[in-house]
Structure 1
């Protein structure tokens, strides 16, 4: 593979929300293209990275994603990772009203501790468990799960709070990469408008040219970090 710029920007993302909404599963789906049915609870923070292309911008970006624990006991640890993030996936479970209600608290936390210009996308995970992706309520199709948050309600709240929004499924892969792409496009637009400054905003790093022919092959990594 020819040398040159392997990616144009490194963007720092955080993934936040209640425990068991599927944050780790979304990260594994993004980085490894697989579904882990019963991931261990995240202790502190886990890390993954992924190269994605935004063709209309002519840019390749490297996402550095920090998957944060959803339990109160780790909140002080996870807050430290909010600082300097350019993007945030705020995740809830479409079959859990409580996780959607608690998203308000997570958003307040992010806004208190993260960059004020951060791009946040609200992600309704586990859309595969319900038969009505349009958000009409009702029962799941053979899964025995009820939708507790309609698409319309989540869209309205996201718009009120200035959030992007998508429903996704870590299990099927539906809209998982799209969520990161939408947020990345918004961040790139902010860079163009000067909201984020190249190399002066902690969550946005401008890439330097690389001559490493293997760099583009190394598109995804994942590791566990900081459990105490």
Structure 2
């Protein structure tokens, strides 16, 4: 089944479904790059997220138009009061860590507790390791991350190479999510 991005048929306005995805993880782990790569064309600048940032794009799945709304939440601990408002009405949680930073992986349990505490305990979760192009600097073993993900019954696991130049694995990740949940 193929998903096409930004595809709208002019003859019949399609019904638009909404999919709210909250993206969490330690600061600097690649959340913003993932969001911008999916939703923005060409090269882009990445600045640290202050509180939260919102990104949107449209995809089609099963001949249905889906508006994918990404909430990129700051990894800075000082923004807890801002973050806790986003979990309750979300459809998907994307938990992100940097494969070159063990602390970013170890903090994921804290993120899951936070999400659960503020109303997101039943969210489907996808685990995503970033910076996979930096294999020589790897601090988080792929098998360890897969096992951790499987032990928590997450919906999916991947490692990607998001960069300002682009990476098709980011698109593929969101295509899988949209196909599975719409």
TM-score range, shorter chain: 0.7 to 0.9
Task: Work out whether residues 86 and 118 of structure 1, in 8 Å CA contact, stay in contact via their aligned partners in 2.
Answer: yes
Q: Residue 98 and residue 50 in structure 1: after superposition, are their counterparts in 2 closer, same or farther (change >3 A)?
A: same
Deviation at 1:35, TM superposition (A): 4.7
Say whether 1:16 aligns with 2:31: no
| Distance in 2 (alpha carbons) for counterparts of 1:88 and 1:2 | 32
Task: Work out whether residues 28 and 34 of structure 1, in 8 Å CA contact, stay in contact via their aligned partners in 2.
Answer: no
| Distance in 1 (alpha carbons) for counterparts of 2:122 and 2:16 | 20
| Distance in 1 (alpha carbons) for counterparts of 2:77 and 2:59 | 32
| Distance in 1 (alpha carbons) for counterparts of 2:95 and 2:15 | 25
Q: Secondary structure at the match of 1:162?
A: coil
Deviation at 1:110, TM superposition (A): 1.4
Say whether 1:177 aligns with 2:182: no
Aligned equivalent of 1:207: none
Q: TM-score, normalised by structure 1?
A: 0.69
Deviation at 1:183, TM superposition (A): 2.2
Q: Residue 58 and residue 124 in structure 1: after superposition, are their counterparts in 2 closer, same or farther (change >3 A)?
A: same
| Distance in 1 (alpha carbons) for counterparts of 2:98 and 2:42 | 19
Unaligned 5+ residue runs, structure 1?
A: 131-138, 140-145, 189-228
Aligned equivalent of 1:46: 53
**Within 5 Å, which residues of 2 pair with 1:189-200?**
none
| Distance in 2 (alpha carbons) for counterparts of 1:152 and 1:34 | 33
Return the index of the structure with the highest Cα Rg.
1
Q: TM-score, normalised by structure 2?
A: 0.86
Deviation at 1:173, TM superposition (A): 1.3
Q: Secondary structure at the match of 2:66?
A: strand
Unaligned 5+ residue runs, structure 2?
A: 1-8
Deviation at 1:7, TM superposition (A): 4.6
| Distance in 2 (alpha carbons) for counterparts of 1:151 and 1:7 | 39
Say whether 1:85 aligns with 2:90: yes
Deviations 1:175-228 (A, max 9, x none): 11222222223323xxxxxxxxxxxxxxxxxxxxxxxxxxxxxxxxxxxxxxxx
